[in-house]
Amino acid sequence: MIWKRLRLTLEMIKFEHSVFALPFALTGALLAFRQAADGYRAAGWKIFWICLAMVGARSAAMAFNRLVDAPIDSRNPRTRMRHLPSGLLSRGFAWAFVLASCLVFFAAAGALNRLCLRLAPLALALVFFYSFTKRFTAFSHLVLGFCLGVAPAAAWIAVRGSLDPRILWLTAAVTCWTAGFDVIYSCQDYEFDCDESLFSVPRRLGIARALRVAQMLHVLMVLCLLALVWFLHLNVLALAGVGAVIAVLFYEHSLVKPTDLSRVNAAFFTMNGYVSVLFFLFWAADILYFGRGL
Q: What does pTM read for this prediction?
A: 0.94
| 75-106: pLDDT as tens digits | 999 989 888 988 888 999 899 999 999 999 99
Q: 224 vs 43, 143, 204, 251, CA distance in Å?
A: 26, 18, 26, 20
- 19-290 maps to CATH 1.10.357.140: yes
Q: Shortest CA distance to 279 belongs to which of 16, 4, 25, 12?
A: 25
- For residues 177 and 180, what is the distance between their CA atoms, to the nearest angstrom? 5
**pLDDT at residue 265, as a whole number:** 83
Neighbours of 238 (CB within 10 A): 25
pLDDT tens per residue, range 100-141 = 999 999 999 999 999 999 999 999 999 999 999 999 999 999
Q: Output the pLDDT for position 50.
A: 96
Q: Note the pLDDT tens digit of each residue in 138-196.
A: 999 999 999 999 999 999 999 999 999 999 999 999 999 999 999 999 999 999 999 99
Any idea how long the chain is?
294
DSSP state of 167: G
Model pLDDT for residues 221-245, shown as the tens digit of each residue:
999 999 999 999 999 999 999 999 9
Instruction: Check residue 241 and give its pLDDT.
Output: 98
pLDDT > 70 fraction of the chain, expressed in percent and rounded: 95
